[in-house]
Amino acid sequence: MQDVTDLPFWRLMTAYGGADLYYTEYFRVHGDSRLDRAILASIVENPTGRPVVAQMIGNDPAALVRTARELERHPIAAVDLNLGCPAPVVYRKCAGGGLLRELDRVDRILGALREAISGKFTVKTRLGFSDAADYDRLLALLAKHGVDLVTVHGRTVADGYRSAVRYDLIRHAVEQLPCPVLANGNIGTPQRALAVLEETGCSGLMIGRGAIRNPWLFEQIRAALRGEVWRFPVGRDVLAYVEALYGAVSGPDPVEKLHVQKMKKYLNFLGIGVEPTGQFLHEIRRVATRGDFFDVCRRYLDHGEPMRLEPYELVLAERDPLAGEHG
């Protein structure tokens, strides 16, 4: 997730068990682009001990080929092409999910990258741009070009994060593609993880927002897969996580107000799993200082009761970035 699951966040996640595989933030690729140094650091300084996939976003075949070859000079497990980002600033430039409106161009890009990439080549996609009418054609293109692994987020680009996830269409990809498929979308609890694996038949899960809310999630899922009881953190565990996160993602000389604003990106995701009224989320969005930030956190989290951290069905404005289904 851009500007969120960066190198400092990866470093912190290792203390909670971490994922089996990490995807970088996306390298923005265009005619005169160069590798982003901060994102490249997550590859060359990888603190996780796990494989890393380098993710690209763009629509210029020659530039994507050049960047893929540059990335393959570094210790990566694969090069990934993002066909799923639903951010308007991205898709309006016909990148990320915007490319799903131009499958002929996708065909050319996939062909150029498959020829250029000597190692593994992966793709993350959604079901389509505004609907899934061309989904089968997209899957055929992914098979045609020998993509090594595909991640499917079970919504369209137009859906954003608001609608229910179409796990049945992720299963369709599993049935149609000769390569492994990862399921993505609303996987925020061990129960949901097991259910999605069963429902889709996928080879694995890609998790983003759920891990920001609950860094224990990866270990909880591993316990569930072993048939063991997983651990729920208590409020003070979550408070300690927030404190560690505050320190982990701060720069060498952070401006307090700006750093508090950055923390709100993380606390947005955490906030929907703290309490059922939405009051924690309301208050944390309105703080401006470190002192006020932690005053709110302590009032809601300084306790010894177990916290499931599952999303509550909060009443949010239609345009709220967290409005929609979270699972």
pLDDT digits over 214-250, tens only? 999 999 999 999 999 998 999 999 999 999 999 998 8
Mean pLDDT of the chain: 94
Q: Tell me, yes or no, whether 208 lies in a domain.
A: yes
- Give me the number of domains the chain comprises: 2
- The secondary structure element, H or E, covering residue 239 is helix 235-248
Same-domain check for residues 118 and 212: yes
Q: Which of 39, 5, 8 is nearest to 254 (CA)?
A: 8
CATH number for the domain spanning 146: value is: 3.20.20.70
Query: Helix 290-301 crosses helix 235-248 at what angle (to 10 degrees)?
Result: 160
Same-domain check for residues 256 and 144: no
Phi and psi angles of residue 56, each rounded to the nearest 5 degrees, phi first = -120, 155
Q: Tell me, yes or no, whether 161 lies in a domain.
A: yes
Q: Which of 113, 19, 114 is nearest to 63 (CA)?
A: 113
Q: What residue has token string 């989904």?
A: 135
- pLDDT for 26 equals 96
* Other residues' Cβ atoms within 10 Å of the Cβ of residue 309: 22
Q: CA–CA separation, 158 vs 133, rounded Å? A: 13
Same-domain check for residues 165 and 209: yes
Measure CA of the first residue to CA of the last residue in the chain; give whole Å: 18
- Which is the catalytic residue, given 85, 179, 202, 297? 85
pLDDT digits over 9-29, tens only? 999 999 999 999 999 999 999
Q: Tell me, yes or no, whether 1 lies in a domain.
A: no
Domain of residue 63 covers 7-225
Q: What is the largest CA-CA distance in the chain?
A: 56
Q: Tell me, yes or no, whether 322 lies in a domain.
A: no
Exposed e or buried b per residue across 113-138, where buried means at least 16 C-beta atoms within 10 angstroms of its C-beta: beebbeebbbbbbbbbbeebebbeeb
**Ramachandran category for residue 130: left, alpha or beta (phi over 0 → left; psi -120 to 50 → alpha):** alpha
- pLDDT for 112 equals 98
Q: Helix-strand-coil percent breakdown of the chain, rounded to 5?
A: 45, 10, 45
- pLDDT for 43 equals 97
Q: If you average pLDDT over residues 154-179, what whole number do you get?
A: 95
The Cα-based distances of 133 to 43, 129, 309 in angstroms read: 37, 9, 36
State yes or no: is 179 an active-site residue. Answer: no
Of the three residues 191, 225, 259, the one that is the final residue of a domain is 225
Q: CA–CA separation, 121 vs 144, rounded Å? A: 13
Confidence of residue 313 (pLDDT cuts 50, 70, 90): confident
Whether pLDDT at 327 is above 60:
no
- Whether this prediction's pTM lies above 0.85 is answered by yes
Q: Give the DSSP per-residue string, 281-316.
A: HHHHTT--SHHHHHHHHHHHH-S-SB---PPP----
pLDDT digits over 114-140, tens only? 999 999 999 999 999 999 999 999 999
**What type of residue is 95?**
A
Q: If you average pLDDT over residues 276-295, what whole number do you get?
A: 95
- pLDDT for 5 equals 83
Same-domain check for residues 206 and 296: no
Q: Tell me, yes or no, whether 21 lies in a domain.
A: yes
Of the three residues 225, 248, 265, the one that is the final residue of a domain is 225
